[in-house]
Amino acid sequence: MEHEPRWLTDEFAADVVKLLRSFVISYNSNRKLSRKKVTRSLLPSLYLFAEEDRRTYVLELLSYLQKESILFLIEQDGELNYIQLVESAIPNLRCWLNMPELDAFSMNWHNAILNMPKNISHLHELLMNVTCLDVYNPSDILVSLSNLYDFLQSDLSLKFISWRQLSAHFFYGDSKYLDSAMRRSFLLVLFPTLEVKISDRPLQLSVFLVSDAEAVLFIENWDTFLELINHNNLDNKYHLVYTAGFKASARNIRQEKGVHFFYGGDFSCISQFEYAWFNSNIEGFEFYFWGDLDYSGLEILNKLSISFPNIKAWRRGYEKMLSSISLAGYGHTAEQTKKEKQRIPSDISCEYAQNILLPALDKTKLMLDQEWLLDI
C-alpha cells in the first residue's frame, strides 16, 4: 500500500480525508471503533446530485478503501448506510494523516474526560484539546477544575485572590502550578469570570533612603546596589532603588497597590519618598537609571520611561563603561555571553542613551556588565 496516497491532497477527496481524521480522533478518545451513519453532514459530496462526477469519485474512493481493508462499508437496500473503521488500518492512517499516537498523558486525559464531573461537562470540547494541564493525574486535575468551578459560582468566592493562592488552594497545595502563562490563559478561557477575581501581587522593591536626597537612582544589579549602600560615595544625593532587572518597569509600579517597598537607610524620608513616587504629577525628585551597558540594560531604561517620563541614563556610571568599550576595547560580545537574543531598543527618551550609548554598542559590538565598575 502506498505510504502516502496521492488522493490525500485531491480536492474531491476532502470529505473522505475529513472522515478518516474523525475516525482516528474518535479512536484516540475511547480506543473503540466507532460506526458512523452516512448523512449529508458526514459526506456532503454524496449529496451533490448535480455533480455526478464528484459523487462517483467519492464512492469509488470509499470502495477502494474497503478493498484495502481501511474501511468497512455497510449497505442497506442497495444504499450505503454505515461506515466503520478497520482497526488494523489505524497505523497506516496515522502515517498518512500525520496523526501520531497520543502520549500516555493525553490518552489518560481523554479517558478521564469520559467520566468527568457533571458540573463541568459543558466544557467538554475545550478540555479535549488541552495540552498544558499536565503533571498531576488527569482525573485529579478534572476534580480541581470542578472545585474551582463551584467556588466561582458560590458566595464564598473571594473578590480578589492571587494566582499563587489560587494555585495552592485548588491544585494540591502547589503554589507554582499556575506560574505557567499557558495554564493561566487556559483557565481564563474555561472560566472567564476568574479574571476579575485575580489580583496581581504587589512588586517588592528594595529602597535605600538618605536625608536631603535630590534624586532617585535605579540600579539594575544587586551587587552594585549593595556596593553603593555600603560605601556611601554618592554624596548622599540619591535615594537608591534596586530594579532587579526589568522588575521595576512594571506598568503599575507607581500605583499604591502595585508595589511594596522594603526600606533601609533613613526612615524619616519614607513619607517624602512615597509622596513623590505615587504622585507622578507632582514635581519631586529627578530619576536616573544605571545598569549593564548592553541592549537589555538600555531597554530597561526605555521601559522605565513609561512610568517615569523624564528618567535619564546616569552618566557618572556609564561614562567609565563607555570609555572601556570605545577607547580601551575591553568588554564582551553578545555571542560570548549568550546575549544574541537581546532586543535592540528604539526611540529611547533619554538623548544620551539614544545618541551616545546605543551607537557605541552598535559600533564596538562590545558590552559591559555593571558590576565591572568598582570605583564609582
- Residue 207's identity, in one-letter code, is V
Q: Is the pLDDT of residue 1 over 60?
A: no
Confidence class of residue 340 from pLDDT cuts 50, 70 and 90? confident
268 vs 312: CA distance, rounded Å: 27
Between 24-28, 77-81, 117-121, 251-255, the lowest mean confidence (pLDDT) is in 24-28
- The torsion defined by the Cα of 281, 286, 292 and 295, in degrees rounded to 10, comes to 50
- Mean per-residue pLDDT over the chain, rounded: 87
Render pLDDT for 102-116 as a digit per residue (tens, 0 to 9).
666 777 787 788 788
> Is the model's pLDDT at 3 over the cut of 70?
no
DSSP string computed for 159-206: S-B-HHHHHHHHTTT-TTGGGSHHHHHHHHHH-GGGGGGB-PPPEEEE
pLDDT of 295 higher than 90: yes
Could you give the CA distance from residue 236 to residue 248 in angstroms, rounded to a whole number? 22
Domain 6-97: CATH architecture, name and number where available: Orthogonal Bundle (1.10)
Q: What is the number of other CB atoms lying within 10 angstroms of the CB of residue 25?
A: 13
Determine the average pLDDT of the residues in 260-269: 93
Q: What residue spans define the domains of the chain?
A: 6-97, 104-197, 203-372
